[in-house]
Amino acid sequence: MTSGFIVAGTDTGIGKTVFSAALAGTLDYNYWKPIQAGVEDETDTQAAKRLSGLEADRFLEPAYVLKTACSPHLAAEIDGILIERDRLGLPETTRPIVIETAGGLMVPITRTDLQIEVMRDWGLPVILCARTVLGTINHTLLSIEALQRRQLTLHGIVFIGDENTDNERTICELSGVRRLGRLPWLTKRDARSLRAAFLAEFRIEDFR
């Protein structure tokens, strides 16, 4: 039976891929980004390969790669691709897996299916990535409420960005969800620097 974590975010572009690469690389897990929307520079899977230090065979191929950088439901329509929920089933792996979602929890992947509903199908614990900047309290508490209403297991919150002690404390106190740590923005972003930052800010036992 497949085990591991779903890495989700309160929004898009907040650093999920960087954290997912750090987590997979440090724990020696597999990585999977089921839906990739936007391929102009490098895909999230390619970035995770570069940043994790893992061998190429540890990365599962996305179920869908969409050219347009926008919500999956619209990107698929623009590209003339039909996203089928059955193709997004949890893969069977002999090694635990880190699954990185597309965008925020309520992002539509089709006109009838939300990202959070597919996450519920997978049944794995969720690590929620949140910004540290202004607005994060509202976005994060709403995301936590959405997860709890659908009875998904929330393993904890990861903050990404510059230190903002009160925002982090307020979110965790109001929600009752544990803080796993904070991943700072890195001036040098490679596998070695990312691994060092992860080990400095997080406890491995919190993910076992």
Q: Which of 16, 33, 67, 188 is catalytic?
A: 33
CA 106 to chain centre: 13
Question: What does each of the 208 residues of the chain score in pLDDT, given as a tens digit?
Answer: 789 999 999 998 899 999 999 999 999 999 999 999 988 788 999 999 999 999 999 999 999 999 998 999 999 999 999 999 999 999 999 999 999 999 899 999 999 999 999 999 999 999 999 999 999 999 999 999 999 999 999 999 999 999 999 999 999 999 999 999 999 999 888 999 999 999 999 999 999 8
Give catalytic status of residue 16 as yes or no: no
**Cα–Cα dist 106/104, whole Å:** 6
What's the one-letter identity of residue 17? T
pLDDT at 61: 95
**Cα 27 to chain centroid, rounded:** 15
Domain range list for the chain: 4-202
Q: Output helix, strand, coil percentages for the chain, rounded to the nearest 5.
A: 40, 20, 40
**CATH class for the region spanning 4-202:** alpha beta
Question: Are 18 and 194 within 8 A, CB to CB?
Answer: yes
pLDDT at 167: 98
Beta bridge partners of 160: 131, 183
Quote the pLDDT of residue 40: 77
